[in-house]
Structure 1
Amino acid sequence: MKQTPPHIAILPSPAISHLIPVVELARRLLLHDDLHVTIIIPCSDDLPPSDATKSVLESLPKPNTRTIFLPPDRFDDLPSDSRPTAELAFTVSHHLPSIHRVLKSLASRNTTTPPLVAVFVSLFAIDALDIAKGLGISSYVFYPMNAISLSVFFHLSKLDEIAASYDFLKDLPEPVKLPGCPSFRGRDLFSGVQDRRTDMYKKFLQFSKRLVSGEDFKGIVVNSVRDIESEAVKALQEENSGKLTIYPVGPIVNIDSSGQNNQDSECLTWLGNQPRGSVLYVSFGSGGTLSFDQMTELAFGLERSGQRFIWVVRKPNTQPPNATCLGPLEPLGFLPNGFLERTKGRGLVLPDWAPQVRVLGHGSTGGFLSHCGWSSTLESVVNGVPLIVWPLAAEQKMNAVLLVERLKVALRPKADDEDGLVRREEIANLVKALMEGTSEECRTVRNRMKDLKDLAVKALGEDGSSTRALSQLVSMLKKI
């Protein structure tokens, strides 16, 4: 008798940057074995499903996938000064009754798809573990970031005790040393755990305690490569031996190059006319922004470097000093006067968005100035593109420490001690050094990134560590 294929549900947070790894995990699982996957998307009036979200979901193979958008909800109890991470967590928590109804329906044997055997929850959907437990559904945590940031959550309760006399973890006088991780300064830790007074910190502390207990779920699927984060992965596995399983299945990244649109065509045509390895790609992720003053310094730094570049520009998060006199500005009106004309032919400036996967995979791209979000970092790794790291939020400062100090695949600019700005001279010198390979450090960065690319490719091979971890996960799902 043929065995019924496992049916799993995945509950991500609604942000596109969180959704893409979930979709790629689903795609990997579907390629690996005969499964059914349902992705449940919480929505709000402020976070409706975007065209990009719908496009990403529609790319999944049919008929074994299904997407359920939960009814949009508006909530008035979110503090006006809340960070985006808090909004994501609130969006999910307000949908818990809807999540309960959907999971109960999927678990029913009256459905047209096989009954649900497991639910995978994201960091911001951790409260759904209680729902799954009440319905008798097995649970897993999907952690789309890396092993070192996951280690922070496993040890946050201990860090909280150490930091008992401080409101902010950035004020810790001694380096933070976690098993298998590089040493971190307090200010480099995950931004969401910096302020011990916030509701978000308390929520993360509860998550930490659930991780340590390991009672409500069977394992954690982490977007890491064992051979790249070997010490951190080993430490996590040893600490949790006999309690829950850590599955390092990365790199989980979007590598699809289909569906080119007009903006893609402009960008790729321009890239195709540049010498091999000569272009620096500059992007701060789907939501990263700079101040007006920092954007000005970056513009002049790119200009002074003399290097070719593609820069994804977004409106700065502060206004120029004379903004009230200027009136509404064009999308690129925040750039210095004459910048576009002076860099014409050598630089391509794109408002808001670029086809990042295609840019990083193009032979003309030789470097990436990045906010070093983990998805962007992995996209750089799988294409062997060395980095200049410019962390802004979330776990990005931890990623920067990993990339610069341990893996040695990135350079990091130094900010001015007085105002925190990275000056144009520093930017110009660093960009020129990376792109021209003028120092031993830069040559090491390039060679090390090639090595990391080989490790990532090997991990996804037929007998690679990530392939084996995924196979182990699927085997467990089939036994439920």
Structure 2
Amino acid sequence: MAMKKKSHIAIFPSPGFSHLIPFVEFAKRLVLQHNNFHVTCIIPTDGPPSKATKAIVESLPTSIDSIFLPPVNFDGIAPGLQVFLTATRSLPSLRHVLESLVSKTHLSAFLTDMFGTDTLDVAKEFNIPPFIFFPSPATALSLLMITPKLDETVCCEFRDLPEPVEIPGSIPIHGKDLPQPYQDRKSEMYKRLINLAKQLNQVEGIGVNTFTDMEYGAIKALQAQQGEPNSVISPPVYPIGPIIQTGSSGTEANGSECLTWLDNQPRGSVLYVSFGSRGTLSAEQLKVLALGLEMSGQKFLWVVRGPNELPSAAYLNGQGDFDPSEVLPNGFLERTKGQGLVVASWAPQIEILRHGSTGGFLTHCGWSSTLEGVLFGKPLITWPLFAEQHMNAIMLVEVLKVALRPKANENGLVEREEIAKVVRDLIEGEEGKRLGQRMNDLKDAANRALSKDGSSTRALSELASKWQNVEAPK
């Protein structure tokens, strides 16, 4: 029997570690499931790649290679816009790389994410079919698809709307809970989102990092509109998740310290607290959170990052050497020595969530962290900060019922008594047990989706066969 010819695709993630990981994991899943694929990962940069980025790239299988583009300059650019502008400013170097690739091989697809849509025209110049990999939830994609229409029909700021916004396949969401760019319709970010939503109809398919049982309504709504003459979206949508980081997330010293500490705690007794790689709280909220964790009497493992008033807390920036005792209440570390473990800036999240002693996860509801919580069956406390995290929190609490959400006071601060109550409810209360049971059901559904004949495995196979059937240009 003749060997199947290898298919070659190129992927282009947005800048930043949290964008690179889902793309790399998607590529790994593709080549594992379909061994006749080769992937080139083209990585835009705004400076030298971080140690973590290099480690990820160096550990890739041989069927995935990577190319770092020359860094782009961001002098005088607002941090929020950098993620949009990196793709735009990398177009000349991307064109050069694609030209070199197509001179040697036939590329059957080019994938980027929602911040890289300016690159789609370059792919088309070389007759490479363009696709989107959407590493966020289907609900966010559903909102994005109706944004141009919303923009025409709504005349005030979304947060001032008396009625919630109807998102196809989702529960209605109040305007104040829509992602950040929607909170200021005059902003450059919002204008770019509208433009981006219009560009999505140029692609030949959208792979979404979700699975049917988690977002049944949104996925069905997106698929139902496909190809309809008046539809907002015409490309087919493929739910191919949950895609999370696989393998060890590092061997740093505080990694082994966390796991050794967890080994000595009772099963299901520890609340893991982390706001992701970019999430930061105000100095005041950070202190109140500490006092609430202490007051709960429950065990906790907390990854502390500097408060967001510090310059080092800026978007896309890592935090270098940082001492948590500088930002925590006086005496907190001494008083909670037997109760909790505090680590600075980074911890091996996958290994912590996998651990039997971890009984719950207080999270900012970033989509990667949310999916990790689901795959390891840990009930959640939601503490959304930015992007689509408020929408994710609403889905987790009100639709899926696998999470609790602490209430803030009229000044937006979550007080220590509220934190202590919610933590106790999750770790030792009856409600926590009910959430844990539902989260276990969702975990089983996620594993079914990824099984040999599961819905996500089938969706990825559909995409792969589409790419395998792309004819090389004559």
TM-score range, shorter chain: over 0.9
Describe the SS at the equivalent of 2:325.
Answer: coil
CA RMSD in angstroms, aligned pairs only: 1.5
Q: Which residue of 1 aligns with 2:113?
A: 122
Describe the SS at the equivalent of 2:401.
Answer: coil
* Aligned CA distance change for structure 1 residues 5 and 452 (closer, same or farther; 3 Å): same
**Aligned-partner Cα distance in 2 for 1:372–1:104:** 39
**Aligned-partner Cα distance in 1 for 2:102–2:413:** 53
**Aligned-partner Cα distance in 2 for 1:316–1:87:** 22
Correspondence 1:390 to 2:361: no
Q: What pairs with 1:370-449 in structure 2 (closer than 5 Å)?
A: 370-417=363-410, 419-436=411-428, 438-439=429-430, 441-449=431-439
Correspondence 1:368 to 2:367: no
- Tell me which amino acid in the other structure corresponds to 2:420: A
Q: Which residue of 2 aligns with 1:296?
A: 287
Q: CA deviation at 1:209?
A: 1.5
**Aligned-partner Cα distance in 2 for 1:56–1:362:** 23
Correspondence 1:333 to 2:323: no
**Aligned-partner Cα distance in 2 for 1:329–1:32:** 41
Q: Which residue of 2 aligns with 1:100?
A: 95
Correspondence 1:229 to 2:215: yes
Q: Which residue of 2 aligns with 1:61?
A: 61
Q: Which runs of 5+ in 2 are unaligned?
A: 229-233, 311-320
Q: What pairs with 1:168-183 in structure 2 (closer than 5 Å)?
A: 168-183=157-172
Within the candidate set 256, 262, 266, 2:253 is matched to 262
Q: Give aligned pairs, total.
A: 453
**Aligned-partner Cα distance in 2 for 1:399–1:304:** 28
Q: Which residue of 2 aligns with 1:325?
A: none
Q: What pairs with 1:35-54 in structure 2 (closer than 5 Å)?
A: 35-45=37-47, 48-54=48-54
Q: CA deviation at 1:17?
A: 0.7
- Tell me which amino acid in the other structure corresponds to 1:73: V
**Aligned-partner Cα distance in 2 for 1:258–1:44:** 23
Q: CA deviation at 1:472?
A: 0.6
Q: Which runs of 5+ in 1 are unaligned?
A: 320-327
Moved more, 381-390 or 69-78: 69-78
Q: Which residue of 2 aligns with 1:479?
A: 469
Question: Could you state the TM-score of these two structures normalised by the residue count of structure 1?
Answer: 0.92
Q: CA deviation at 1:296?
A: 0.9
- Tell me which amino acid in the other structure corresponds to 1:160: D
Q: Which residue of 1 aligns with 2:197?
A: 208
**Aligned-partner Cα distance in 1 for 2:180–2:21:** 22
Q: CA deviation at 1:158?
A: 1.7
Describe the SS at the equivalent of 2:11.
Answer: strand
Moved more, 357-366 or 126-135: 126-135
Q: Which residue of 1 aligns with 2:313?
A: none
Moved more, 97-106 or 11-20: 97-106
Q: Which residue of 2 aligns with 1:452?
A: 442
**Aligned-partner Cα distance in 1 for 2:258–2:322:** 24
- Tell me which amino acid in the other structure corresponds to 1:255: T
Q: Deviations over 1:243-289 (max 9, x none)?
A: 42111000000132375343211110000000000000000000100
* Aligned CA distance change for structure 1 residues 386 and 240 (closer, same or farther; 3 Å): same
Describe the SS at the equivalent of 2:326.
Answer: coil
Q: CA deviation at 1:329?
A: 8.6
Describe the SS at the equivalent of 1:118.
Answer: strand
Q: Deviations over 1:184-234 (max 9, x none)?
A: 0001111123211111111110111122xx2x2110000010121111100
Taking only the aligned residue pairs, the percentage that are identical comes to 53
Q: Deviations over 1:297-327 (max 9, x none)?
A: 10000000000000000111137xxxxxxxx
Q: CA deviation at 1:444?
A: 2.3
* Aligned CA distance change for structure 1 residues 395 and 107 (closer, same or farther; 3 Å): same
**Aligned-partner Cα distance in 1 for 2:90–2:248:** 34
Correspondence 1:9 to 2:4: no
Q: CA deviation at 1:73?
A: 2.0
Describe the SS at the equivalent of 1:388.
Answer: strand
Q: Which residue of 1 aligns with 2:71?
A: 72
Kindly indicate whether the alpha-carbon contact (under 8 Å) linking 2:143 and 2:168 is maintained by their aligned counterparts in 1: no
- Tell me which amino acid in the other structure corresponds to 1:44: D
Q: CA deviation at 1:468?
A: 0.3
**Aligned-partner Cα distance in 2 for 1:96–1:355:** 35
**Aligned-partner Cα distance in 2 for 1:123–1:191:** 15
Q: CA deviation at 1:27?
A: 0.3
Kindly indicate whether the alpha-carbon contact (under 8 Å) linking 2:249 and 2:350 is maintained by their aligned counterparts in 1: no
- Tell me which amino acid in the other structure corresponds to 2:99: K
Kindly indicate whether the alpha-carbon contact (under 8 Å) linking 1:107 and 1:117 is maintained by their aligned counterparts in 2: no
Q: CA deviation at 1:59?
A: 2.0
- Tell me which amino acid in the other structure corresponds to 1:4: K
Describe the SS at the equivalent of 1:332.
Answer: helix
**Aligned-partner Cα distance in 2 for 1:390–1:461:** 31
Within the candidate set 128, 148, 154, 1:163 is matched to 154
* Aligned CA distance change for structure 1 residues 338 and 406 (closer, same or farther; 3 Å): same
Correspondence 1:89 to 2:90: no
Describe the SS at the equivalent of 1:181.
Answer: coil
Q: Deviations over 1:156-206 (max 9, x none)?
A: 012212322x2x322222101111101100011111232111111111101
Question: Could you state the TM-score of these two structures normalised by the residue count of structure 2?
Answer: 0.93
- Tell me which amino acid in the other structure corresponds to 1:308: K
Q: Which residue of 2 aligns with 1:246?
A: 237
Describe the SS at the equivalent of 1:126.
Answer: helix
Kindly indicate whether the alpha-carbon contact (under 8 Å) linking 2:117 and 2:196 is maintained by their aligned counterparts in 1: yes
Q: Deviations over 1:310-353 (max 9, x none)?
A: 0000111137xxxxxxxx99443110000000000210000000
- Tell me which amino acid in the other structure corresponds to 1:36: H
Q: Which residue of 2 aligns with 1:322?
A: none
